[in-house]
A and B are shown apart, each in its own frame.
Chain A
Amino acid sequence: MSASRFRGALMTVVLVSALQAPAHAYLKLGSDVNGRTISLLWPARTPVRYFISDQSVDGVSVPQFREAVGRGFDAWQAVETASVGFEFGGFVGGRPLDQDGANVIGFASRPDLERTLASTSFLIDTRTGEILESDIFFNSTFRWSVAPGGEAGRFDVQSIATHESGHFLGLGHSLLGETEPRPTGGRRLLASGAVMFPIAFTAGNIVDRDLTADDIAGVSDIYPDGKFRRTTGTLQGTVTRNAKGIFGAHVVAFNLRSGDMVGGFSLDDIGAFAIAGLAAGTYIVRIEPLDDGDVESFFENPSAVDADFKATYYQRLVTVPEGGGSVRIAVEVAAK
């Protein structure tokens, strides 16, 4: 079983596309509403109710699947600076991907999606960006496991559920990771720094059960609780080459004290970026091109992404204050 198979390749089933939201990045999913890109998110009413499809697969019973998925949701629900909640609604006979008004999570056999472990789809209100329905399917073409310590040769349901439930909440992919191309196509994961990185660990690995600082900042930015804005700060600035803004540059903020890394992207024509949810402190800022994943898994319009520049450090350390924004830094990069 290949380790390079994508998880969470975002399917745009109805009315939604994986646009990038303009404000704060990790990436958040967005929708174009009247010429304006707004973040996808669940309406204020919580918890969000979900149902589990009653189809089992080899090695994973329906109750086991439900428990593993529940633990995946629990990881996000436990984030102290985010206000999200989930509620198990019961088992249903419906399949994920059906437009039935229910948020259904379950297995489906999709051998045609040979690189997709699982996927999340949305039905949204195009006027507001609110999510009306979201389904998650796990591709039963692969071998799955719910073993507490993982199982060699089988992908961990809980790890993948944690990733997909990040999409379910409106998070896009993170680029905190390193990959290399595979001779047979696709990319092989070398290392990852976020559950929301688009390429899964090797089958049997359970690392992605635990959220990272990047994941936590992302979900907190979409669903901030009362103290989030007050207790964290924002790194902001622009990325340019020859004084022209770069779209899609990956910006990594490294906290010198905690060692936490949070990434974001420059998201407009002037190369502006803003990464919210950072602990106050001193940061190293590293800029790199989007070359460790398929651009399509991050942005709807890959041709807009400019990856023709060398990885670069901002020449000074940057202070991120509590409850506010850093000075706007300007990073000039050089062409490759």
Chain B
Amino acid sequence: MKRALVLAWLALILTGTPVAALAQQNPAPRARSFELSAGGIAVGPVDFGSATASLIANQSAAPESTLFRASSTIGTGLGVDGRLAFNITRALAVEGGFVWTRATLESRITSDVEGVPDVTLAQDLDTYFIEASAVWHLAALSFAGGRALPFVAGGAGYLRQLDEEQALTTVEPGTVYHAGGGVKYFLLRRPRGFIRGLGLRGDARLYVRSGGVELDQDTTRRNQWAVAASLLVRF
């Protein structure tokens, strides 16, 4: 509640107009209006399984001789999520998004032929998504006295992953698709003024990416979940 008051006070300073009550109002945006959101995001891990560095065996029952084994993962990536939406109608919006996360690409080395102790090798990995989405507001499902507005969204984007030195492109750019939904929860809204509303936005998405870092020759697509929480400004 205290946070809501602070935001309301901030809105007053910005616009110099009184804040309207929110209760029982239709939470859907005006047509031909903008929304801006920015916050944090977590993108889920990827398990690449294991790979074996092997040599061709001579006179052995096994066709290959193992030099070492490596099990590789990308850990959960944490970063920022920013979106600018244009509400075409009260229900439909188009949205441009930018996501940056940093995660750790790790390989656990085991079974070294010369008995080298098991070791975990790592590399920081920066991931960028630049994406476009369609957002459908579900005003009929609004709750919390009209403060909470559920929505569904889907889209596609450009993927780029860079290694920790930020100088070398790890791989060629890839493509990312996403689908999901969430809730916009308005702490305050106003019928007039430059800023028409302030609130919080929560997203849950499923990303399907092709390209980017891939350590399995036989896999062309990877699914990763993501959750994001943002501050939302409606204009």
Contact = CB atoms under 8 A, between A and B. Distances in A.
A326 B164 CA distance: 12
A242 B176 CA distance: 46
A64 interface: no
B212 to A, nearest CB: 11
Contacts of A252: 53, 67
Contacts of B68: 254, 284, 286
A317 B213 contact: no
A288 B55 CA distance: 15
Interface in A259-287: 259, 261, 280-282, 284, 286
A207 B60 CA distance: 14
A310 B57 contact: no
Contact of A316 (B59, B70, B122, B167): B122
A201 interface: yes
A333 B57 CA distance: 28
A312 B58 contact: no
Given A192-B56, A282-B170, A317-B105, A254 B114 contact: no
A125 interface: no
Contact of A257 (B56, B116, B167, B217): B217
Interface string A236-252: 00000000000000001
Contacts of A176: 55
Contacts of A313: 109, 116, 119, 121
The residue in A176, A190, A310, A322 that gathers the most chain B C-beta atoms within 10 A of its C-beta is: A190
A178 B109 contact: no
A313 B106 CA distance: 14
B87 to A, nearest CB: 42
Nearest to B72: A256
Contacts of B48: 256
A303 interface: no
A316 B123 contact: yes
Nearest to A193: B55
A315 B116 CA distance: 13
A284 B57 CA distance: 22
Contacts of A177: 55
A324 B169 CA distance: 10
B214 A259 contact: no
Given A310-B116, A311-B114, A315-B119, A257 B55 contact: no
A15 interface: no
B165 A327 contact: yes
Given A191-B58, A282-B105, A310-B116, A254 B217 contact: no
A321 interface: yes
Contacts of A3: 58-59
A268 B215 CA distance: 33
B14 interface: no
B55 A314 contact: no
Given A190-B65, A313-B121, A319 B163 contact: yes
Contacts of A259: 51-54, 217
Interface string B77-106: 000000000000000000000000000011
Interface string B161-200: 0010101111110000000000000000000000000000
Given A176-B55, A284-B109, A326 B168 contact: yes
Interface of A: 3, 176-178, 189-193, 201-202, 205, 207, 252, 254, 256-259, 261, 280-282, 284, 286, 288, 310-319, 321-322, 324, 326-327
Kindly list the 4 A-B residue pairs having the minimum CB-CB distance in the complex, ordered from nearest.
A191-B65, A191-B55, A317-B123, A319-B163
29 contacts: A191-B57, A191-B64, A193-B55, A201-B58, A202-B58, A207-B56, A252-B53, A254-B53, A254-B70, A257-B215, A259-B52, A261-B67, A281-B170, A284-B70, A284-B109, A288-B114, A311-B112, A311-B116, A315-B119, A315-B121, A316-B121, A316-B123, A317-B107, A317-B121, A317-B122, A317-B123, A319-B165, A322-B169, A322-B172
